[in-house]
Amino acid sequence: MVAELVKRGITDQRVLGAMLEIPRHIFVEEAMSAQAYSDGSLPIGEKQTISQPYIVAKMTQLLELSGREKVLELGTGSGYQAAVLATLADRVCTVERIRPLALKARKALDSLRLLNVNLKIGDGTEGWPEEAPFDAILVTAGAPHLPDCLVQQLAPGGRLVIPVGDRIDQRLLLVTKGMDGSVATEECDDCRFVRLIGKNGWNDEQ
C-alpha cells in the first residue's frame, strides 16, 4: 500500500512512515480485511466509508505536521485517519456524528494504545470551540462550503484541509492562516467524499 502511495506522488517520509506503522485492517470489518491494504475506500457500516489510503496520505501531507501540533479531525469514521494523525502530532481531537461508528473507532484506537486521541460524538460542523485553537484541521467528509467557525478555530500559522463541492464531487481545499490572521485558499485535488451533515454542512434530507 505504501509503495503505491510513493508511486502516486506522496513524498512526506513522516506520513509514509505513519501509514506503514498503523495497521489499516484493524479499522475495517473482518470480512473486508483482505482488501485493507488496497488503495480504495471501503464500507464501514452506517452508509459510511473508510477513505482511500491515497487521499488519507494526500490530506495528511498537506497539513505539514511536525509532531508538536494539536489537530482537529471532523468525521472520525473508522478512526484510521485519527490514528495516522495521532502518530504525527501531539494531540488529536476528533468528532463523529454517528454513535456506533464513534464507539467502534474508540475501541480500535484504544487497541493501538493511541492515548493522545480525544473523541467526541456530535456535530463537527461547529468545530470544537472548547479545545480551539488548532494548529491543523482536517475535514474528512464533503462540505457544501467552508464553515467560517472552522477558520476562526484555526491558530495563526495553521493549516486546514477540507473537501468542498456538491453532493458527489468535491475539490480539496487547503486553507492557510498567516501569523497576521490573513487567510489564503488553494485548490489541491479532485475528491469524492460522503457528505458532511450538520448545522454548517448539508442537511440530512438533502
| Least distance to ligand SAM, CB of residue 109, Å | 11
Whether residue 158 contacts residue 133, with contact meaning beta carbons closer than 8 Å, is answered with yes
| Least distance to ligand SAM, CB of residue 130, Å | 16
Helix axis angle for 13-21 and 80-88, nearest 10°, is 130
Annotated catalytic residue 51: yes
Whether residue 129 contacts residue 153, with contact meaning beta carbons closer than 8 Å, is answered with yes
Place of cell 486521541: 117
| Least distance to ligand SAM, CB of residue 47, Å | 8
- Cβ-based neighbours of 144, under 8 Å, separated by 6 or more: 164, 165, 166, 196, 201, 202
For residue 43, cis peptide bond before it (omega within 30 degrees of 0): no
Which among 137, 12, 125 has a CA at the least distance from the CA of 70? 137
Interface residue with ligand SAM among 98, 109, 137, 151 (CB under 6 A) is 98
Of 18-26, 58-66, 120-128, 150-158, the window that binds ligand SAM (rule: CB under 6 A) is 120-128
Near ligand SAM in 122-161, by CB under 6 A: 123-125, 140-141
Near ligand SAM in 78-97, by CB under 6 A: 78, 80-81, 95-97
Interaction between residue 60 and ligand SAM (CB under 6 A): no
| Least distance to ligand SAM, CB of residue 123, Å | 5
How many residues belong to the site for ligand SAM (CB under 6 A)?
A: 26
Pairing of the two strands 48-50 and 42-45: antiparallel
Interaction between residue 48 and ligand SAM (CB under 6 A): yes
Distance CA 160, CA 137 (A): 5
CB hemisphere CA count around 41 (13 angstroms) = 19
Q: Which is the catalytic residue, given 33, 38, 41, 51?
A: 51
Binding residues for ligand SAM, rule: CB under 6 A, are: 48-51, 74-75, 77-78, 80-81, 95-98, 101, 123-125, 140-141, 193-194, 196-198, 201
Active site (catalytic) residues: 51
